[in-house]
């Protein structure tokens, strides 16, 4: 695990005096930074809203419950928390392949997609994302797109679902995290972005169930989002490690 960049640690220290309750919806400077990031780096267009969360794992585990989803689709090879969230909500969890043309179009409330994927690293193509969007229109179900590895492409650059929706963000929510982007897993800084009506539903419940992001963390996330250089440096570190891994595997006659 690489260190949290110094300028982010400084922001945490400088904002340690935090006697008031933080605002669930996020401090104005954080909201502005999130919206700017979503337009600039995710290609978000049209009407969308943002909501800071305590980690993205916590949000993934709670989302089906928060949205009262009773049947959810998850990738057949997936990060385990998608299933856990479904179980916690008492929902039926159905595993599906990548191609949304084969997904059921009735009796489904939401579907998780994850690109780049954990654990496979696979990146959805534009055609695959378009097909997921088409499915959502047909089924009326919510797409929850976990994009926490988007800042670190491997062979292919991933695309946010928000860059593909042509500004029609109804029933779309994307999940992002500072854990990987800025090596801040211990801070639990993350956010969701998408359909303002869905964000408003989440906000209303979260106002009363707690889980507001602590203010020193909100400030640290705001500062982290203002810099892209540390993300590029981290991406280069990962590329260098992959090159070494590839060489070692090929030395053992294994293909990477
Ligand atoms: C696909 C995926 N989503 C979400 C998370 C959660 O990240 P965090 O809770 O640190 O934001 C992880 C963590 O490994 C992950 O692999």
* 7 is a domain residue: no
Number of domains within the chain: 2
Kindly state whether residues 178 and 251 are assigned to the same domain: no
128 lines ligand 1 (CB under 6 A): no
Closest ligand 1 atom, CA of 180? 10
* 102 is a domain residue: yes
- Expressed as residue numbers, the domain containing 208 is 19-225
Kindly state whether residues 117 and 144 are assigned to the same domain: yes
230 lines ligand 1 (CB under 6 A): no
Those residues with Cβ within 8 angstroms of residue 140's Cβ, 6 or more apart along the chain or in another chain: 171
pTM over 0.85: yes
* 251 is a domain residue: yes
Centre of ligand 1 to C-alpha 150, Å, is: 12
Quickly tell me which residue has 């909500």 as its tokens.
Answer: 89
135 lines ligand 1 (CB under 6 A): no
Residue of minimum CA distance from atom 6 in ligand 1: 57
Q: Helix (H) and strand (E) counts for the chain?
A: 9, 7
183 lines ligand 1 (CB under 6 A): no
154 band by pLDDT with thresholds 50, 70 and 90: confident
Tens of pLDDT, residue by residue over 51-64, are: 999 999 999 999 99
Cβ–Cβ < 8 Å for 49, 173: no
* 1 is a domain residue: no
Kindly state whether residues 139 and 164 are assigned to the same domain: yes
Res 145 pLDDT > 70: yes
Closest ligand 1 atom, CA of 58? 9
Query: Exposure pattern of 184-203 as b/e (b: 16+ CB <10 Å)?
Result: bbebbbbbbbbbeebbeebb
Kindly state whether residues 178 and 239 are assigned to the same domain: no
Give the residues across from 145 on adjacent strands: 113, 174
- Cα–Cα distance, 134 to 174 (Å, whole number): 16
Tens of pLDDT, residue by residue over 167-179, are: 999 999 999 999 9
* 14 is a domain residue: no
Res 165 pLDDT > 90: yes
Kindly state whether residues 219 and 231 are assigned to the same domain: no
Kindly state whether residues 180 and 253 are assigned to the same domain: no
Kindly state whether residues 205 and 251 are assigned to the same domain: no
144 lines ligand 1 (CB under 6 A): no
211 band by pLDDT with thresholds 50, 70 and 90: confident
User: For position 253, what pLDDT does the model report?
Assistant: 84
What CATH number should be reported for the domain holding residue 75? Answer: 3.40.640.10
Tell me what the mean pLDDT of segment 33-37 comes to: 98
Kindly state whether residues 141 and 166 are assigned to the same domain: yes
177 lines ligand 1 (CB under 6 A): yes
| Secondary structure in 3-state letters for 88-143 | HCCCEEEEECCCHHHCCCCCCCEEEEECCCCCCCCCCCHHHHHHHHHHHHHHCCEE
Kindly state whether residues 101 and 213 are assigned to the same domain: yes
Peptide bond into 66 cis (omega under 30): no
Kindly state whether residues 57 and 146 are assigned to the same domain: yes
Tens of pLDDT, residue by residue over 95-125, are: 999 999 999 999 999 999 999 999 999 999 9
Kindly state whether residues 234 and 209 are assigned to the same domain: no
* 134 is a domain residue: yes
* 24 is a domain residue: yes
Q: Is 177 helix (H, G, I), strand (E, B) or coil?
A: strand
Kindly state whether residues 47 and 127 are assigned to the same domain: yes
* 170 is a domain residue: yes
């Amino acid at each position: 695990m690489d260190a949290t960049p110094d300028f982010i640690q400084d922001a945490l220290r400088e904002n340690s005096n935090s006697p008031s309750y933080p605002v669930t919806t996020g401090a104005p400077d954080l909201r502005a930074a999130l919206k700017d990031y979503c337009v600039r780096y995710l290609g978000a267009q049209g009407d969308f809203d943002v909501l800071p969360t305590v980690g993205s794992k916590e949000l993934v585990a709670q989302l089906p419950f928060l949205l009262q989803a009773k049947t959810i689709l998850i990738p057949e090879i997936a990060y385990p928390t998608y299933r856990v969230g479904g179980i916690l909500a008492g929902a039926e969890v159905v595993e599906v392949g990548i191609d949304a043309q084969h997904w059921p179009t009735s009796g489904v409330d939401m579907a998780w997609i994850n690109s780049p994927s954990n654990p496979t690293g696979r990146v959805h193509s534009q055609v695959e994302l378009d097909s997921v969007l088409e499915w959502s229109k047909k089924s009326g179900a919510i797409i929850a797109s976990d994009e926490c590895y988007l800042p670190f492409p491997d062979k292919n650059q991933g695309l946010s679902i928000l860059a593909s929706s042509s500004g029609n963000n109804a029933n779309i929510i994307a999940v992002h995290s500072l854990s990987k982007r800025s090596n801040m897993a211990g801070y639990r800084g993350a956010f969701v972005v998408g359909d303002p009506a869905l964000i408003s539903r989440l906000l209303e419940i979260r106002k009363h169930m707690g889980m507001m992001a602590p203010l020193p963390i909100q400030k640290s996330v705001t500062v982290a989002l203002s810099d892209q250089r540390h993300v590029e440096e981290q991406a280069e570190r990962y590329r260098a490690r992959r090159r070494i891994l590839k060489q070692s595997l090929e030395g053992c006659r294994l293909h990477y």
